[in-house]
Amino acid sequence: MGLRPEEIVTAGDELTDLDMMESGTAAHAICPGNAHAEVKERVLQLGGSIGGGVCSDGVIEAFGQLARRRGWAWD
C-alpha cells in the first residue's frame, strides 16, 4: 500500500488483534473500554488511547482522543 507505520491507526478489542498492534505495522493503536486487558496494555505501550465507551462508540471516542493529542484535524 505504501503507507508508513506513522500513517496507520489500528483498533482492536480481543487478543487476536494484538498482532496488528505492533510498532512496525502501526505506530498508533486504540481500543474501546470493553477491550481485553492485554489489548489495553498494548494500546498504552504504544501511546494510544482507550475509549470509555464500548464497541464502536469506544473506538470513535479513542480515535478522537488520539487525534486531539496528536494535533490531527478531526471533528
pLDDT category at 1 given cuts 50, 70, 90 is low
The pLDDT of residue 74:
75
The one-letter amino acid at 12: G
Whole-angstrom Cα distance, residue 2 to residue 15? 27
The pLDDT of residue 75:
67
**Partners of 10 in the beta sheet?**
29
Half-sphere exposure of 70 (CA within 13 A, CB side): 18
List, in order, residues 6 or more apart from 26 with CB less than 8 Å away: 5, 8, 9, 10, 20, 46
Q: What is the pLDDT of residues 18-74, one digit of tens each?
A: 999 988 899 999 999 999 999 999 999 999 999 999 999 999 999 999 999 999 987
